[in-house]
Amino acid sequence: MVMALALSPSFFKPHCSPSPTNPISTVTAIRPAVILPGLGNNTGDYQKLEVTLQEYGVPTVVAKVSRFDWLRNAAGLVDPNYWSGTLRPRPVLDWYLKRIDEAVQEAKELAQGQTLSLIGHSAGGWLARVYMEEFGQLDVSLLLTLGHLQKACQGSLIKQGVSLIMLKNIA
């Protein structure tokens, strides 16, 4: 039997207020989170997560992705590298990397000089890693990935066809 414990957002909020006599309790701003949708998902699929994070006081931005956008990946099918398992993320997924960058820029405005958290689901997780490698990671202090492989299975066209994970093998 599995049991879950649900804690309200107020459980995680500071229970003491800052004061001149208690400098340790100074309240610090919470870093914003950027949610990166997985393959075939769209921005709206993450609305509940976005609202939940905001209830906990985490400013949140979801990368703007539609289901139709994912059809762009079909461009990789005409590249012989796709069929040999050596296709690279760029240029096929440049559209997604641009969406990540737009969301990161929006979150940086909310961050007020602090770093960001990236939350990547499935393909969004490994594409977050591609983004950090290609665009730099100075603004990112946390990468949380959900439901994605950390390393691709070499030579697996099925993996490549399903999630394009073989595009980039970042260890």
pLDDT at 161: 41
pLDDT at 84: 83
pLDDT at 144: 93
Beta bridge mates, 121: 146
> Which position has the token pair 């985490």?
58
Q: What is the pTM of this model?
A: 0.75
pLDDT at 1: 44
116: left (phi over 0), alpha (psi -120 to 50) or beta: beta
Beta bridge mates, 34: 61, 118
Residues lower than pLDDT 70 in the chain: 1-28, 148-171
pLDDT at 43: 97
pLDDT at 8: 54
How many CA within 13 A on the CB side of residue 142?
12
pLDDT at 152: 53
Beta bridge mates, 166: none
